[in-house]
């Protein structure tokens, strides 16, 4: 993992180019190593805020092993989201980081149609001005995200140094994110899905497994481990090696085991899902464990959130029906 002093100097983000990034376009390389989107990086490059050896570069500049890119961080502006007094299930908090157990139905950051009631609004109320500004006006402090109907742990940074440290851990895969899910079909053995993900050409609101080399497609790797095989359903653990949008849901659907209750990537509801529809409001997916090195102390933090009631009840029903 990149040391903090190698990444951060006043308001400049420093990104050394390693072997994995060698030969890539500058916008692609920086999108892989920072919290900025490619479109945001393109705007920064147009303004001359991204340099190599003091010379501004464009998004099409090809970078090479040994290069060091510098990003002049934009001035922090007030978040567009408004603070809202929304209760938070806080698993851990100190001066650098806060970890929340997100409930089902809560959107992480503002988006069209979800301008209020977000976790960002709740964090703004709870933390006041003590959130990192690197995520921009829509995502202050947010280092990673989980889907609206996925429950579980999400970390937010309370200052820029913490944000950069956690982002580096995401980039080099040293931050471990473990999920639990109920999926359709029996799974008896552990496995890995290594299949790149990009925006679906058929439905721009969905993600899909697409051929490598397709524009906008990024590598995606998910490891899964059986907990209990119920025959028509399975309780599994999953560990993300990468963190693409809807990654688990897309990957499990791709291998024929969609997440129970997933109305976007699943097939028609099974009789079991129809019988217990009151317990299924979206996918049965829970981000239960999070492990990372504390941004200030380096201490390894291992945090856990219990299964939500609906997930636990469905699991109990499956166990009873198996007897």
The Cα-based distances of 127 to 8, 103, 160 in angstroms read 23, 19, 14
Neighbours of 298 (CB within 10 A): 9
Q: Which of 183, 267, 197 is nearest to 225 (CA)?
A: 183
Within a 13 Å sphere around the CA of 216, how many CA atoms are in the beta-carbon half?
12
Catalytic status, residue 160: no
Q: Which of 173, 196, 172, 193 is nearest to 181 (CA)?
A: 193
In the set 67, 96, 147, 262, the catalytic residue is 147
Positive or negative, the CA dihedral 80, 83, 87, 93 is positive
CA 154 to chain CA mean position, Å: 8
**Using the 8-state DSSP alphabet, how is residue 74 labeled?**
P
Q: Are 264 and 249 in contact (CB under 8 A)?
A: yes
Q: Which of 322, 318, 242, 314 is nearest to 285 (CA)?
A: 314
Q: Are 30 and 36 in contact (CB under 8 A)?
A: yes
Radius of gyration for the alpha carbons in the chain, expressed in angstroms and rounded:
20
Q: Are 287 and 89 in contact (CB under 8 A)?
A: no
Continuous H helices in the chain: 4-7, 26-33, 38-46, 119-127, 160-171, 247-254, 271-275, 309-322
| Residues tagged active-site | 147
């Amino acid at each position: 993992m990149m040391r903090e002093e190698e990444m951060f100097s006043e308001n400049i983000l420093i990104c050394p180019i390693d072997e994995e990034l060698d030969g890539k376009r500058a916008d692609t390389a920086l999108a892989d190593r920072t919290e900025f989107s490619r479109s945001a990086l393109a705007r920064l490059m147009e303004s001359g805020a991204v340099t190599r050896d003091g010379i501004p570069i464009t998004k099409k500049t090809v970078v090479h092993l040994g290069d060091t890119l510098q990003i002049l961080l934009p001035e922090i502006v007030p978040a567009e989201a408004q603070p809202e007094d929304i209760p938070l299930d806080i698993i851990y908090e100190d001066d650098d980081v806060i970890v929340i157990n997100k409930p089902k139905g809560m959107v992480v950051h503002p988006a069209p149609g979800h301008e209020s009631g977000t976790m960002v609004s709740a964090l703004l109320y709870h933390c006041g001005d003590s959130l990192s500004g690197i995520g921009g006006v829509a995502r202050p402090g947010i280092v990673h995200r989980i889907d609206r109907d996925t429950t579980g742990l999400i970390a937010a940074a309370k200052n820029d140094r913490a944000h950069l440290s956690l982002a580096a851990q995401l980039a080099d895969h040293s931050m471990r994110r473990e999920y639990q899910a109920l999926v359709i079909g029996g799974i008896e053995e552990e496995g890995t899905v290594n299949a790149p993900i990009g925006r679906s050409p058929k439905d721009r609101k969905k993600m899909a497994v697409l051929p490598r080399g397709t524009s906008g497609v990024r590598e995606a790797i998910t490891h899964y481990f059986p907990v209990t095989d119920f025959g028509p359903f399975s309780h599994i653990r999953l560990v993300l090696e990468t963190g693409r949008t809807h990654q688990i849901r897309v990957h499990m659907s791709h291998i024929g085991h969609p997440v129970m209750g997933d109305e976007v990537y699943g097939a028609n509801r099974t009789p079991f899902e129809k019988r217990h529809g009151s317990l299924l409001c979206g996918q049965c997916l829970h981000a239960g464990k999070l492990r990372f090195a504390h941004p200030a102390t380096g201490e390894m933090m291992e945090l856990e959130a219990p299964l939500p009631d609906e997930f636990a009840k469905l699991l109990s029903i499956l166990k009873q029906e198996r007897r």
